[in-house]
Amino acid sequence: MSTPWIAAVGRHLAVFTAGTLIGALYGRPLIGAFIVVTGLLLWHLYNLWLLERWLQTGDLAEMPAGNGTWARVFARAKFIATQNKLNRKKYRRLVKELRTSMKAFPDGGIILSPNNEIIATNKAARLLLGLKRKRDRGQRIDNFIRHPSFVAFLDAGRKKETVEIPAPHGEKWLSCRLMPYGPDQRLLLVTDVTRARKLETMRRDFVANASHELRSPLTVIAGYLDALDEAEDLPDTWSRPVADMREQTRRMSQLVVDLLQLSKLESSAPGPLDAAIDIVSMLAVARHEALAAPAHPRRIELDIHSDAGLLGEESEIRSVVANLVSNAVRYTPEDGSIVIGWSVDDAGGHLSVADTGIGVAPEDVPRLTERFFRADGGRARQQGGTGLGLAIVKYALRRHDAELDINSEPGRGSRFTCHFAPQRIDRRPGHPDGSERPDPREESR
Ligand code: ADP
């Protein structure tokens, strides 16, 4: 017990003793004690009434001063009330600041309940999605954004991922991102990406048009150079320059072909799900072609564990295989080896090209699929590559629900694995045309 309370008990006892003693003087100690106790009770009741009356108004100016123990109680209550007032003021200011910043925020923000119902929206979100604050509160967000990609994205609820969809009203394109908010709510961030998409389309169109326009002049130049090369009266001093010009023209033509292929892959819809690709035969052909290259590693083998096929666009998957295999051939010395693998499990199909070549430094691995990125610039250019091969692989795989996984160690080799989603696997045995499929182990010999 604290000192003031010991003093209060002491005071009460003293008053009680005094009352009893005065009563004893008149031969009535009990009556004296009774009067004193009743007086004390009435005094406490009066103070309680004062407190209750003040609690009803909460007006700090009207707080009674009280005396004795009650003075302490009133002072404490006044302190707590003053603190609360200050906190309320602070809280109101914070809410106001938050509202102002939410209003000024250029991106839309929508707070969603665990059932995807709208709890709160800012002005930008209402403008972008055509929402009304009061009318739409409590409605499910997928009643307003019905795009299938958005609904799938909402159900998956993956953090850090974004989905781009056309706005429910108007011409705009929106990028949506979900993040955890509070204990069980989510914040949906909506950004207007119309301008960025327009610029991206312009860039893509420009590259496609420029590449297309370059095709005809290059064909003409290549034709004349071929004719010059075959001309019998060509002076000897011109043989080397003409050979160099032919090589450079071939590289430029390859560049144009790759650029056109890339822009087609970037802008078209996902590959078909009903066209079966005989991947085992395709890998066998890729192996034969690699063995036919002027310079190649001595051992090029197949490691086939499934005769399942793939569902998609054959030319694009062929391009994926050709790019990965030709890279392995170019970046692996003659005494090295290449293994081309195919296997299927519950997670889907796995197509891999592993080599024991020069490998790639760890810091370069994430950049390999960028356009024109070369891990070892000069050396890779000498190998005759365009720097677009792995970008083509990335986009072709994206259109087939597949991802590229790269493992590499400088000096030891690389493994490029394409992981295809289960819905892309054609598990029917045999060739798509019904004929028997050759034993892949035969092929690898
Ligand atoms: P390139 O036409 O230059 O080969 P790619 O896009 O196919 O372009 O590859 C990009 C870069 O990745 C290459 O320049 C090379 O540095 C590196 N690379 C690709 N495949 C391999 C590999 N199998 N081994 C080592 N480096 C590779």
- CB of 375 sitting under 6 A from ligand 1: yes
- CB of 320 sitting under 6 A from ligand 1: no
pLDDT class of 5 with cuts at 50, 70, 90: confident
- Do 80 and 165 fall into the same domain? no
- CB of 389 sitting under 6 A from ligand 1: yes
- Do 117 and 149 fall into the same domain? yes
- Do 20 and 79 fall into the same domain? yes
Per the structure, the count of domains in the chain is 4
- Say how far residue 22 (Cα) sits from the centre of its chain: 86
- Do 423 and 281 fall into the same domain? yes
pLDDT class of 441 with cuts at 50, 70, 90: very low
- Do 439 and 363 fall into the same domain? yes
100 within some domain: no
211 within some domain: yes
- Do 232 and 142 fall into the same domain? no
- Do 422 and 280 fall into the same domain? yes
Sheet containing 309-311, strands listed edge to edge, beginning at the edge strand earlier in sequence: 276-277, 309-311, 425-426
pLDDT class of 444 with cuts at 50, 70, 90: very low
Q: What is the pLDDT of residue 274?
A: 83
CB atoms within 10 A of CB 273: 12
- Answer yes or no: are the C-beta atoms of 256 and 221 closer than 8 Å: no
- CB of 258 sitting under 6 A from ligand 1: no
CA of 400 to the centre of ligand 1 (A): 22
* Containing structural domain, residue 22: 3-94
Q: What is the pLDDT of residue 6?
A: 87
- Do 356 and 429 fall into the same domain? yes
CA of 375 to the centre of ligand 1 (A): 7
Sheet containing 162-166, strands listed edge to edge, beginning at the edge strand earlier in sequence: 118-121, 108-112, 185-192, 173-181, 162-166
- Do 297 and 439 fall into the same domain? yes
99 within some domain: no
pLDDT per position as a tens digit, 312-352: 999 999 999 999 999 999 999 999 999 999 999 999 999 99
- Say how far residue 311 (Cα) sits from the centre of its chain: 26
- CB of 390 sitting under 6 A from ligand 1: yes
Best mutation site among 337, 340, 390 for ligand 1 pocket (most ligand atoms within 8 Å of CB): 390
- Do 21 and 48 fall into the same domain? yes
- Do 408 and 295 fall into the same domain? yes
242 within some domain: yes
- Do 148 and 90 fall into the same domain? no
pLDDT per position as a tens digit, 266-317: 877 777 888 899 999 999 999 999 999 988 999 999 999 999 999 999 999 9
